[in-house]
């Protein structure tokens, strides 16, 4: 019986690893999908992404017969308030990410997601008052030096990268506060529901000024644009399914798949410039991530040994 349980747990961990890897793989190639949606601009695209994600989540709740779970969440004012904050943060994240993808700045968003684990550790100190190990402080120091190198050497402030790292880091903190009381589908449903007035307002403004692109560039473009809700929800659901089955250490290692792919897409496929100063900055970030990852793995092994 014990051997059977161990085999079942191993299968679950393997399955969870595939789910999480699939999520990060899809996130890594997301900029290419958004580029296919030209000439749709970033404001209109995010608005459609919100509305179509909400529609897809509503369909999923219906198929899964999960509306009672959503109703149960709505009866918790504190949790509802946290989902409002999460919605605002994910809107900022989506808008900045898509702006970067559609304006020839795919490499900088990848830098933001490379920095994200370090930003999360920093938030643990500033918000949760956690005490960091010396190696974690070293990683934060190296990452700060990387940003300084990019600002001074490359001559531009990496606002896209830092905004993405900050918004997604705080988003993760809010989701941690929400806890397991809200499942992935209900969470995304509420977050997009609160953003619906913003999305509708944006579409009205775009329609009145530039004209909407939905349906104006043939059926292939309309179909691709209509699938943004599915493209948004599927990796989130894969991630949720994977995170339940594997350790935080595994998730921490897999999370680098997406920014690596985004970096390669921007550099090798889209031909974005990578002068020496940028390579040095990215190199320092990667060194910081190696330090942080090794420290995390060693600490997790020690915790298991002592446990």
Q: How far is CA 255 from CA 21, 150, 265, 295, in A?
A: 8, 23, 17, 16
DSSP code for 156? S
| Residue range(s) defining the domain that contains residue 159 | 2-306
Write out the chain's pLDDT in tens, 307 residues.
566 676 677 778 788 888 888 988 999 999 999 999 999 999 999 999 999 999 999 999 999 999 999 999 999 999 999 999 999 999 999 999 999 999 989 999 998 888 888 887 788 777 777 777 888 888 888 888 888 888 877 677 889 999 998 998 888 888 878 877 788 889 899 999 999 999 999 999 999 999 999 999 999 999 999 999 999 889 988 887 787 777 666 776 778 889 999 999 999 999 998 888 889 889 998 998 888 888 877 877 776 676 5
In this structure, what token pair is assigned to residue 131?
Answer: 């005490």
Residues 230 and 227: their CA atoms lie apart, in Å, by 5
pTM for the complete prediction? 0.87
Task: Give residue 215's region: left, alpha or beta (phi > 0; psi -120 to 50).
Answer: left
Our count of domains for the chain comes to 1
Rounded-to-integer distance, Cα 124 and Cα 195, Å: 27
Question: Rounded to 5 degrees, what are φ and ψ at 51?
Answer: -65, -40
For the stretch 241-263, pLDDT in tens is 787 777 666 776 778 889 999 99
């Amino acid at each position: 019986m014990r051997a059977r349980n161990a085999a079942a747990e191993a299968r679950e961990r393997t399955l969870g690893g595939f789910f999480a890897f699939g999520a990060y793989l899809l996130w890594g190639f997301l900029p290419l999908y958004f580029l296919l949606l030209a000439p749709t601009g970033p404001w209109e695209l995010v608005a459609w992404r919100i509305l179509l994600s909400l529609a897809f989540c509503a369909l999923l709740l219906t198929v899964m017969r999960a509306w009672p779970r959503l109703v149960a969440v709505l009866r918790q004012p504190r949790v509802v308030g946290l989902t409002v904050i999460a919605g605002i943060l994910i809107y900022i994240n989506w808008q900045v990410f898509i702006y970067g993808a559609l304006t020839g700045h795919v490499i900088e968003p990848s830098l933001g997601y490379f920095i994200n684990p370090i930003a999360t550790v920093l938030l643990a100190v500033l918000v949760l008052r956690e005490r960091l190990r010396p190696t974690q402080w070293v990683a934060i120091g190296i990452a700060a030096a990387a940003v300084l190198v990019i600002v001074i050497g490359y001559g531009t402030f990496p606002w896209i990268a830092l905004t993405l790292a900050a918004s997604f880091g705080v988003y993760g903190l809010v989701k941690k506060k929400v806890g397991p009381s809200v499942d992935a589908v209900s969470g995304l449903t509420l977050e997009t529901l609160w953003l619906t007035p913003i999305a509708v307002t944006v579409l009205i403004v775009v329609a009145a000024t530039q004209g909407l692109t939905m349906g104006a560039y043939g059926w292939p473009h309309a179909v691709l644009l209509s699938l943004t809700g599915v493209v948004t929800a599927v990796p989130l659901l894969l991630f949720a399914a994977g995170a339940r089955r594997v350790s935080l250490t595994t998730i921490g290692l897999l999370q680098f798949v997406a920014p690596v792919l985004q970096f390669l897409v921007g550099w090798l496929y889209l031909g974005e410039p990578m002068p020496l100063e940028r390579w040095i900055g990215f190199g320092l970030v990667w060194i910081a991530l190696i330090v942080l990852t090794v420290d995390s793995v060693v600490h997790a092994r020690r915790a298991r040994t002592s446990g």
